[in-house]
Amino acid sequence: MSSPAVRPTRVRHTILWLTVLLYMVTYFDRVLISTAMPSIQKEFGFSIQTVGLILAAFQLSYSLFQIPGGWLGDRIGPRKMLTIIVMWWSAFTAFTALAWSVNSMVVCRFLFGMGEAGAFPNATRSLSRWMLPSERGWAQGVTHAGARLGAAITPIMVAYLIYHFGWRMPFFVFALVGVVWAGVWYFYYRDNPVEHASTNDAERELIHAHLGATPKRKSIPWGPILSSPQMWVLAASYFCYGYALNMFLAWFPKYLDAARGMSLTQMGIFASLPLAAGVIGDICGGWFSDEIIKKTGRIKFARKVVAVTGFLIAAVVCPIAVLEPNVYASAALFCLAVFGLELVVGNAWAVSLDVGGNFAGSVSSVMNTLGNIGGTIMAAATGYIVAAYGWNMAFYAVSALALIGGLLFLFVDASRQLYVEPAKAD
């Protein structure tokens, strides 16, 4: 009698959940300052335009260092790279609590953003040699769901800590969380499945059958990547997503405070609701597209139909939400808008894996650079838009960018890699 087949271990799924925790940590630290900003603004007397510049400092460095972060991660591997950058940004999360002026706060947020810039490209790279193609949409959906879950629970936790200990305490607490994650990651993760002591032969063979052998590190083909029209269509669409989504990460707590007159406790709860809806959108977006692929085999159609639908939901709902006088109905509409936006994100990052192949870290870094340039422009411009035209106009801009993003995604083809390595001669 033949012996029963050995089932593959599931180390890749443990790595996935560690990556989900990373995404949560990034958004703990990113949303933290937005929730604390009304208290910071009260202590220092910052104007609405100054607040915009402080928020934009993070977005600017986060944008500028996406490509260097992705490139360095492709060179040294995500195990070392993610450990280094999480330690870096955790330090500057803590230093933000020690800021004494607008200039010191801008510097801290700029250096914080420099560290976080490498997070998503290298997290994507860390999964590229572990997750099977049929798992990628779901994997990207659940990781970004972790990000939105982190963003959703942060306002509540921060409001509690500020109420009891002042606005500086949350920065120290969340910095410590990042340090702990970095230690666990370095201990457990390996860049190559073959190097991981907990994988059995069955899991290694499963990964090898779907992804091939782990390639040797090679020069990154920046020429073909940057000259590809599809690269820039994907990146431009993500620019629109970045502008729209970051409105809810950077400015939404202030909107609830200034335009809706909410208390600190109310603001913490209501600011978390759209981001909680985003968690559902992340999971649904990745799951829907993977299911469509399994049933039809049409990867191009699957990624496109879900992402475009999400963009259109946000474009339609945002203006209605801001005009709705009832705070509960408005909150429900804002939840639907963010749900729509989060149908996009898992598919956009899955596309970066689909078309990037062994250079997914570099491809995703280009895409995320444009996304965060959108976030940078939004962070700075919104302060001036609100001062000149009011909060409604700021959300109309979000709607317009979501509509443009949906139109651009119609031209994204996830079935075509940006760069195909030439075959070796026999």
Average of pLDDT values for 128-145? 74
Average of pLDDT values for 232-260? 90
More confident residue, 275 or 138: 275
**Which of 48-62, 121-135, 265-279, 401-415 has the largest mean confidence?**
401-415
pLDDT tens-place string over residues 58-93: 888 888 887 788 778 878 888 899 999 999 999 999
114: exposed, middle or buried (Cβ count in 10 Å: 0-12, 13-18, 19+):
buried
pLDDT exceeds 70 at position 216: no
- Extended beta strands in 235-380, E state: none
**Which of 44-48, 98-102, 205-209, 316-320 shows the lowest mean pLDDT across its residues?**
205-209
Average of pLDDT values for 189-204? 81
Q: Percentage of the chain surpassing pLDDT 90?
A: 28
Other beta carbons less than 10 A from residue 45's beta carbon: 8
CA end-to-end span of the chain, whole Å?
A: 41
Residue 413: what pLDDT? 83
Residue 426: what pLDDT? 44
Report residue 231 as tokens. Answer: 């690269």
pLDDT exceeds 70 at position 4: no
Residue 2: what pLDDT? 43
| pTM for the whole structure | 0.73
Q: Percentage of the chain surpassing pLDDT 70?
A: 93
The C-alpha angle 118, 121, 125, rounded to 5 degrees, equals 125
Could you tell me if 79 and 129 are in contact, meaning their C-beta atoms sit under 8 angstroms apart? Answer: no
Report residue 150 as tokens. Answer: 């982190």
Scored b (16 or more CB within 10 A) or e, 196-212 reads beebeeebbebbeeebe
**Which of 57-66, 170-179, 207-216 shows the lowest mean pLDDT across its residues?**
207-216
Q: In 65-168, which ranges are continuous DSSP H helix?
A: 66-76, 78-96, 102-116, 119-128, 136-165
Residue 215: what pLDDT? 58
**Which of 49-58, 204-213, 232-241 shows the lowest mean pLDDT across its residues?**
204-213
Residue 404: what pLDDT? 96
Nearest 10 degrees: Cα torsion 49, 51, 54, 59: -80
Nearest to 264 by CA among 274, 273, 253: 253
Mean pLDDT of all residues belonging to the chain: 84
Residue 213: what pLDDT? 61
Residue 425: what pLDDT? 46
Map out the domains of the chain with their CATH numbers: 11-409 (1.20.1250.20)
pLDDT exceeds 70 at position 422: no
Q: How far apart are CA 379 and CA 358, in angstroms?
A: 33
Report residue 87 as tokens. Answer: 């330690």
pLDDT band at 423 (very low <50, low <70, confident <90, very high): low
pLDDT band at 376 (very low <50, low <70, confident <90, very high): confident
pLDDT exceeds 90 at position 143: no
Q: How far apart are CA 64 and CA 341, in angstroms?
A: 23
pLDDT exceeds 60 at position 3: no
Residue 228: what pLDDT? 87
pLDDT band at 5 (very low <50, low <70, confident <90, very high): low
What is the Cα gyration radius of the chain? 21
**Which of 67-81, 201-215, 223-237 shows the lowest mean pLDDT across its residues?**
201-215
pLDDT band at 424 (very low <50, low <70, confident <90, very high): low
pLDDT exceeds 60 at position 395: yes
Residue 212: what pLDDT? 64
pLDDT tens-place string over residues 287-299: 788 788 888 888 7
Q: How far apart are CA 29 and CA 418, in angstroms?
A: 33
pLDDT tens-place string over residues 313-371: 999 999 999 999 999 999 999 999 999 998 998 788 788 877 876 677 678 778 888 88
Nearest to 124 by CA among 349, 278, 346, 282: 349
